[in-house]
Amino acid sequence: MYSVLLTFLLVLFFAVAFSLQNSEPITIDFFSWTLEASRAVVLLTALSCGVLLGVLASLPSFIKKSRLITQQQKTIAKFERIVAEQNEQKQLPVNPDPS
């Protein structure tokens, strides 16, 4: 619990220090749009967009693997039922032929 709190406070400290050191305004021109914001906001927005694009790029692979795992779990459950049934059949007492 304390390590999570300490990590959070450490990240918060560095975020505040980063924003204070990069507070000067910059102008961004993109086609016909012009945006003026502090350097910290621009850098953190660019970082957030990069993380979001990375997550979106890995999402199809994650979904594919998740479906494969689900399919394999169903196959394993099916084989476990088959093995259990075969073990039950082997353990049934055999009645000798009453002749």
Q: Summarize pLDDT for 14-73 with one digit per residue, the tens.
A: 888 888 888 889 998 989 889 899 888 888 889 899 999 999 999 999 999 999 999 999
Kindly provide the residue ranges of all beta strands, DSSP E only, lying in the chain, ordered along the sequence. Answer: 25-30, 33-38
C-alpha to C-alpha distance for 55 and 32, rounded to whole angstroms: 29
pTM of the model: 0.60
Quote the pLDDT of residue 11: 87
Largest CA distance in the chain: 103
- Whether 9 and 2 have beta carbons less than 8 Å apart is answered as no
**How big is the CA angle at 86 (ends 81 and 91), to the nearest 5 degrees?**
125
Instruction: Give yes or no for residue 93 having a pLDDT over 70.
Output: no
- Whether 36 and 25 have beta carbons less than 8 Å apart is answered as yes
C-alpha to C-alpha distance for 81 and 75, rounded to whole angstroms: 10
Quote the pLDDT of residue 91: 74
